[in-house]
Each structure stands twice: as C-alpha cells, then as structure tokens.
Amino acid sequence: MDTFIKQWLDTQWERANRSPSVIYIAFGSWASLQLEQLIQIVSALRPYPFIWSLKSKLHLFISSSGIDYQRHLLLDWTPQRFILSHPAVRLFISHGGWNSLLESMSAGKPTLVWPLFGDQMINGHRLEHELGMGRCILNTDLTNRQRIVSSDELERYLKEMFDQETKYIRKARQVQQMILRARENSSRLCFEEIIKTVENQMVAHMEKHNEL
C-alpha cells in the first residue's frame, strides 16, 4: 500500500511540475459525516487532486459523485505521517485531533481544521490564531447538529488559503522547525505545552535578533 501511495503522489508531483498540489483529507476513525456532507466535500475538492481517508463502505457512494481515479484517491486506511511528509501534499484538511495536528506541524503543512467534538475546536482555534498555519471552519461541532458545510463555503476557505499560501507555508515551516527542536518524545506533550514551547522559542529568537 505504501508503495502504491508513493507512486501516486510522485505522479501528482511530476504532473504539477514538481510543486505541491494534493489535498489530503482525513477526519479520524471516529467521525461520521452525513452523506449530503460528503457530496458537498467532493464538489468543492473535485478540481484538485486529493487523497481522502474514508471508510470503504462510503467509497461507492462517493464514486458516483464524479471521482476521477487518476486525480482522486479514496482509501480506507492511510499512512498519514508518510503522506503529510511528501512534497506533493499542499494542504491537510483535518478534524483537528491532537495526533493529526502534531503530524501536520511536524510535516510543516498548512492545515484547514474541521472540528467535530472534544478539544478539536480549541485545537483548531489555536492553530489558526496562535500558530497562524491554517484556518478553522466555524460552527461545525456536534452541538450545532453537525451542520452541512456547503461546497461554496468550503471553496471560500480553500481560495482564501491558496490566495495567501505563502503566508501559511511560512508559518507552517516555522512551527515545523520549532517542533523539530522541541524535546524528545514531544508527542506526549499536551497542546498547551507545545504552544508554550513555540512561544518561548519565538521570544528567544526575537531577543537574540535584538541583541545583534
């Protein structure tokens, strides 16, 4: 499976003249989106090459919505860390679970958070407002009865992120470098501690710069 995914990503990389083009989307193993929501997502993402980690029972339903199998890859399971580390990946759409966000930060990938429950809303807010490496879709948690995010709304988020892509990439790579410098076994740290590490290193960098 890893070999097949690598070959597919390598192909997208070459087709895009060796530049990032692929959107990777995954909502974790517990999320369950309404079928109408899946249709809206496909409609918004159809112009882009994408990998979607999606339960196999939904593949046939999605396939009838206009999937191009040369540019769109549906997988029941994905090696997420490997995919995020590939240079062909342009954007990660995530539910905002801690492990997923840590992997996106470690890979230096701009991220659009689509929170559903638990600490995902807080994680998404911090990723957008404190780290600046992505956006967080508003009012998508289960307390809002899992409202349907329209394809138009999702397209607006994508357009805004791609219009300001340089900024998001720069922020994502800054966070990546800070994560890489963080202490060993940082995956055990809670989000607050990662934020503190990032802030402390930013302050230290600024102080060092002011001394020059």
pLDDT exceeds 90 at position 78? yes
pLDDT exceeds 80 at position 47? yes
Higher pLDDT, 179 or 154: 154
Structural domain boundaries enclosing 128:
2-211
| Closest among 110, 52, 103 to 82, alpha carbons compared | 103
CA dist 129 and 61 (Å) reads 36
Output the pLDDT for position 62. 79
Write the DSSP assignment of 34-55 as a string of letters: -HHHHHHHHHHHTTS-EEEE--
Side chain identity at 171, as an amino acid letter?
Answer: K
The residues that bridge with 111 in the sheet, in sequence order, are 92, 134
If DSSP codes are grouped into helix, strand and coil, which group holds residue 10?
helix
pLDDT exceeds 90 at position 178? no
CB 166 within 8 A of CB 160: no
CA dist 139 and 127 (Å) reads 16
The total number of structural domains in the chain stands at 1
CATH number at residue 70: 3.40.50.2000
CB 68 within 8 A of CB 48: no
31 backbone dihedrals φ, ψ, rounded to 5°:
-70, 145
CB 149 within 8 A of CB 114: yes
- What percent of the chain is predicted at pLDDT more than 90? 58
Output the pLDDT for position 49. 97
If DSSP codes are grouped into helix, strand and coil, which group holds residue 152?
helix
Output the pLDDT for position 143. 65
- What percent of the chain is predicted at pLDDT more than 70? 81
Residues in the chain: 212
CA dist 120 and 118 (Å) reads 5
What is the pTM for the complete model shown? 0.85
If DSSP codes are grouped into helix, strand and coil, which group holds residue 60?
helix
Side chain identity at 183, as an amino acid letter?
Answer: R
CB 61 within 8 A of CB 34: no
pLDDT exceeds 80 at position 191? no
